[in-house]
Chains A and B, each alone.
Chain A
Amino acid sequence: MSDIFKNLPTEIKKNKLKTGIFIGLSAYWGIILVGTFVSFS
């Protein structure tokens, strides 16, 4: 687990595209989940 955190900055620099896609998808999923909750509450 500590290895993952230790190597995270280098992995992000190596795979900027994958990191960007991951962040984008997470934001998208976050918005629709929050939006669903707000719509039905």
Chain B
Amino acid sequence: MDVFLPIAEVSVNIIAILSLSGVVGVLSGLFGVGGGFLMTPFLIFLGVPPTYAVANEANNILATSVSGSTTHYLKHTLDYKMGFMIVIGGSIGTLLGIWTFSYFKGTGKIDIVISLAYMYILAIIGTAMLIEGLGEIDKARKKIITKKKLHVHYWIHGLPLRMRFQKSKLYESAFTPIIIGLIVGFIAAIMGIGGAFILVPAMIYIIGMPTRLIPGTSLFVTIFVSVIVTFLHAFNYGSIDLILVALLVIGSIIGVQVGQKLGESIDSAGIKTLLAVLLLAVGIAIAYDAFFAEHATNEIVKIDVNNLNPLSMFIKKLSLEMPILYGLFSIVFAIVLGVGAAFIRRFFSNLRKKYSLKKV
């Protein structure tokens, strides 16, 4: 059951996209990560060109971040001030990332740069998590308990422009979240990810935020970073494909709910090791695809716009003739889907509570 993507100009299997985005959503919900660094490589493996995979996954992340952030907003577990500081850095980082993306696109090296970026990020994170996960399992088996320092101070904590972050009960330099946001924004723009897997450890170990505020604040930051990435990709390259985005969002939002439920019953050291193995496996697959696999040169087929179905024709024409409006439409589309999903989840959650109370 194939669908032709009018912007990416490739055909993809609907079931494959929905299943993969669902599986990645489950992993996101289970491990508490965005999933962008898994979904983008999967899209590339399915035949979506890397530049389109990056842009459309950024749009998908926008929807899922809005959904998660709305839930946290309703629970009041967000530090807006800290979030805005990170967003300031994130905005600058995103612009630098898009500029770098444009540079490599101009030199014709963007596909290999994206593949290499994924290989290195997955290798670094996978190796670190595997060592930590295996270490924890080893210590648990030998029943060794290690005492860790509550706070470790680095040079970054001595920077100027200190301010109070009331919600997180912190007094530290504003440069700390700004620099972190800059790095996250830069990587997000090039790789089409949310950056949560860098942001969350940075918030815990460098900024020192309380754990309960981290998921919500991280998702809040991801919204802004994804908006900028989506808009700039739509405006500069016209690479957002709304049909692909819709498929990705439907699969991932459903998957995240399942993953969160599963995560409540699995041990964390085991989860960490499994995720590390998964990251390394995906990294190996990307390395094989980039360095060893033979890629047949695809014939460039000129698509006559009049042969497309009405929806595809509308999307193609809007993307070509009004890129700014198209970019804004992509963003609003993702936000509406995300907010809608959050409220639907809340509705079913309340319904389930009422039903279980009635049973009692």
Contact = CB atoms under 8 A, between A and B. Distances in A.
Interface of A: 18, 21, 25, 28-29, 31-32, 35-36, 38-40
B291 A28 contact: no
Contacts, number: 33
Contacts of B120: 32
Contacts of B61: none
Contacts of B127: 25, 29
A32 B287 contact: yes
Contacts of A25: 127, 130, 280
Chain B contact residues: helix, strand, loop or mixed: helix
B287 A28 contact: yes
A28 B127 CA distance: 10
A28 B284 CA distance: 7
A28 B130 contact: no
Interface in B109-140: 109, 112, 116, 119-120, 123, 127, 130, 134
Interface residues of B, number: 15
Given A21-B130, A28-B280, A32-B123, A39 B116 contact: yes
B290 interface: yes
Given A21-B130, A21-B134, A35-B287, A28 B123 contact: yes
Contacts of A31: 287, 291
A35 B123 contact: no
Nearest to B116: A36
A36 B118 CA distance: 12
